[in-house]
Amino acid sequence: MSQATQPKIYVAVVGVGLVGSELISQLLSIPSSPFHLVSLSSSKRTIFQDKAPIGADWKSLLDSSSEKPDFEKLTQNLAKLNQRVAVVDNTSSEEIATLYPKWLQAGFNVITPNKKAYSGDDGLYEAIITTSKASGAKFLNEATVGAGLPVISTLKELVATGDKIDKIEGVFSGTMSYIFNEFSTGKADGPKFSEVVKVAREKGYTEPHPADDLNGFDVARKLTILSRTISSGSATSTSLPNLKSFAAVKTASLIPSALEGIPTGDEFIARLPEFDDEFAKLRTEASAEGKVLRFVGVVDVSGGQVRAGLEKYPTSHPFATSLGGSDNIIMFHTERYSPRPLIVQGAGAGAAVTAMGVLGDLLKLI
């Protein structure tokens, strides 16, 4: 069936910030689009327009709306369309993530870069899996790991085609990638750790409070998503632990214990120099071994372990030679891809590539 004769897919977008706005722009630029944009919701306003699709004037339409977001009402309105529907959640809201089973039960496809539903409480994740199977509606979450990089889809295909996953390891955080690409190059000396973190914050690579990156939770969430993807897609059981949430991942935080609980990012940055010598020692030790420091995440299927933390790699390793800026790099060690792993690398953060990952999932519905 040609794209022109295909029935439209009615799209409701929740979250119109950096990623959401970029997604709408990319969505509206598709020639002979199969998508009919019917609803937009910000944190304060919402619009629903089922007759004529929402177009390039969406910002002014949303700004002029007096209607507040009401997801119960949105669900009812979408159900009344009696059409193929996709709900795109561009937020990082746990509250909205809890609505996924309800939307899937209603037959709506759910697409999101929001990691909360897929890395949080395992009860919610199981409800998503079960409801999707029962209704036939799809949940697609490519952009939850690696933004626009084909990480989730690659893993799903490997598992679905019967390949045996031995281990996945990678630099999953753009923030951590930048910090250690700058800090540890294989030489014994270099910039101070606190200075690198400070510059990363000024460039917008870190959260306003850098501790939210240095605690490793973002990586732990992504590892949980990968681990669950393997477990739910495998025909046989694996030795991977049943992660109740991302908090069960063995995560080695880089926050010095004395700085735990520092309330503001400014105060954290001001005090981080107190620990420069400790980080410099780690770099010197790595250099003496001909290695670099990288904050990596590992899903070790054979070893039955999921962990995140600082590890050392030879200066000839792709984690040392192939990374630049805030790139991500992920290695899939499998039965088929052995001894040379399948490698996916590239920009792992940013509105444009994240929106591309979301739009790519939408296109899978056609």
Task: Indicate which residues carry an active-site annotation.
Answer: 222
346 is in an annotated binding site: no
The continuous run of DSSP H or E covering 268 comes out as helix 265-271
Rg (CA), the chain: 22
| Contact between 103 and 126 (Cβ < 8 Å) | no
Burial of 182 (C-beta count, 10 Å sphere; 0-12/13-18/19+): middle
Structure tokens at 63: 């700004």
CA atoms of 237 and 161, how far apart (whole Å): 16
46 is in an annotated binding site: no
Q: Say how many C-beta atoms besides its own lie within 10 A of residue 124's C-beta.
A: 19
72 is in an annotated binding site: no
116 is in an annotated binding site: no
175 is in an annotated binding site: no
Residue among 2, 4, 73 nearest 39 (CA): 73
For 194-245, the DSSP string reads HHHHHHHHHTT-S-SSTHHHHT-HHHHHHHHHHHHHHHHH-SS--SS---SS
Cα four-point dihedral sign 154, 310, 293, 315: negative
3-state secondary structure of 272: helix
15 is in an annotated binding site: yes
Structure tokens at 298: 């590992």
Residues shown for the chain: 366
204 is in an annotated binding site: no
353 is in an annotated binding site: no
CA atoms of 238 and 39, how far apart (whole Å): 41
| Contact between 307 and 220 (Cβ < 8 Å) | no
Measured CA distances, 25 to 29, 51, 237 (Å): 6, 20, 42
162 is in an annotated binding site: no
Q: Which residues are annotated binding-site positions for NADPH?
A: 91, 115
Q: Which residues are annotated binding-site positions?
A: 15-20, 91, 115, 207
Q: Which residues are annotated binding-site positions for NADP(+)?
A: 15-20
Q: Which residues are annotated binding-site positions for L-homoserine?
A: 207
